Amino acid sequence: MTPFGEKIRNLRAVRGVTLKDMAAALRVSPAYLSALEHGRRGRPNWAQVQAIIGYFNVIWDEAAEIERLARLSHPRVTIDTSGLNPSATELANRLSEEVAHLTEAELGELNALLDSILQNHPTRRPATSRKPR
């Protein structure tokens, strides 16, 4: 499951919305919506994210959080380190090899560390509004 899928599934559960009803309202198939929630489909496009935000009638911070989660929810990530420092290639490969073996707490620690590093980086921004799952 992706972070975006988890958020959408939780919103549906809290509001008592079935997958079938939401899919009909968004004019997508229930199978597509299920695959999106479970990370078997790539991240949704901007229009789909906006339709979901509108469907749940969320505003401001929660809408921004849904957009952020959609951006960070591609289930098959490719990192191109060609032309970068060898340390970047090593880090990308180590993460690729180890991510499946990390606990939820360890993943949270790594995300927090990355946010902390990016907080002071002049050209990058941290994943703002990160909320614990």
Q: Give yes or no for a contact between 37 and 1, defined as CB atoms under 8 angstroms apart.
A: yes
- The predicted pLDDT at position 132 comes to 46
Q: Range with the lowest mean pLDDT among 19-23, 45-49, 71-75, 127-131?
A: 127-131
Q: Per residue in 101-117, pLDDT tens?
A: 999 999 999 999 998 99
* Tens digits of residue pLDDT in 44-88: 999 999 999 999 999 899 999 999 999 989 888 889 999 999 999
Question: Which residues, in sequence order, are CB contacts of 33 under 8 Å at separation 6+?
Answer: 19, 22, 23, 26
* pLDDT confidence band for 129 (50 / 70 / 90): very low
d(CA 58, CA 47): 15
C-alpha to C-alpha distance for 133 and 116, rounded to whole angstroms: 18
Domain range summary for the chain, segments of one domain joined by +: 3-71, 78-133
Domain 3-71, CATH? 1.10.260.40
- The residue with greater pLDDT, 125 or 61, is 61
The confidence score (pLDDT) of residue 74 equals 87
User: Which pLDDT band, with edges at 50, 70 and 90, does 11 fall under?
Assistant: very high
Q: Is 38 helix (H, G, I), strand (E, B) or coil?
A: helix
